[in-house]
Amino acid sequence: MRLYRVMNIRRLFLCLLLTGCSMAVSAQGYRMEIGAAGGVASYIGDANTTLLVNPRPAGSALYRYNLNRRFALKADLGLAQIAGSTAGRSTSYPNGVEMDFQRWMVDGSLQMEFNFYEFGAPDYLPGSSRWSPYVAAGLGLTGYKSDKTRVSGSLPLGIGLKYKLPCRLNIGLEFSHRLSFTDRLDYSSQGGDWQLDDPWIARSDWNKNKDGYTTVKIFITYDFFYIGSSCYKE
């Protein structure tokens, strides 16, 4: 008898969950999303010019405000680790210096996203697509500690793919590159007076030879801020 009651409670809970998911998909629209992303980060600079070499962990919290089905404002705040080394390529640098580095960074950005398709659940938004590729661009700040604590501006550029699930959930995959305004992300205490920010002791323009890093992340978000249904709109 006790087992029978437990099974009935589980069935009731499952029915309520499925009913809630169905209502969320077929009868409601939401303006905002909040969620998290996780993946890897890779440094691009004087010690590495190839994408996704020495990948390190990266994660962030994100918030998205959907202006409409094509455009959205996205804010994210996260942590990322990067690493690099001149080992095996020291002959490419003056005096054959070998050095490596590894550090954590705090990164925040505000970006505009453009969906190639009108993103939404077709059940309640006629003409919309449950999935869409998208591009993103904006402005950001990166905080890190090299010889001292520093903060640099950055230009995040990204491309991704998102998909709308039941139960107000969205999932996606995003590749993003952060072009920073600094050449000190690859600072190493091993280098002494010689550093990778100026390996050939040559002056360059402010917008050249700067460091950056790429991230590849999977994200999941939850819809909120109910804005009504468009089931019967043409």
Domain residue ranges of the chain, discontinuous segments joined by +: 2-228
Taking 50 as the pLDDT cut, the residues of the chain under it are 3-4, 6, 9, 12-28, 200, 206-207, 232-234
Q: How far apart are CA 228 and CA 4, in angstroms?
A: 40
Give SS3 for 96.
helix
Distance separating alpha carbons of residues 183 and 152, to the nearest angstrom: 10
Residue 128: CA count within 13 A, CB half-sphere: 24
In this predicted structure, what is the pLDDT of residue 208? 52
pTM (two decimals):
0.78
Q: What is the pLDDT of residue 17?
A: 41
- Give the per-residue pLDDT at 84: 85
For position 139, what pLDDT does the model report?
Answer: 97
> In CATH, what number does 2-228 get?
2.40.160.20
Q: What is the pLDDT of residue 18?
A: 43
pLDDT of residue 89: 61
- The pLDDT score that the predictor gives to residue 166 is 84
Q: According to the model, what pLDDT value does residue 210 have? A: 84
What's the pLDDT at 221?
A: 97
Taking a C-beta distance cutoff of 8 angstroms, is the pair 226, 30 a contact? yes
What is the phi/psi pair of residue 210, to 5°? -90, 155
Q: How far apart are CA 136 and CA 144, in angstroms?
A: 24
SS3 174: strand
Residues 155-186 pLDDT 10s? 999 999 999 998 899 999 999 999 999 888 88
pLDDT at 122: 78
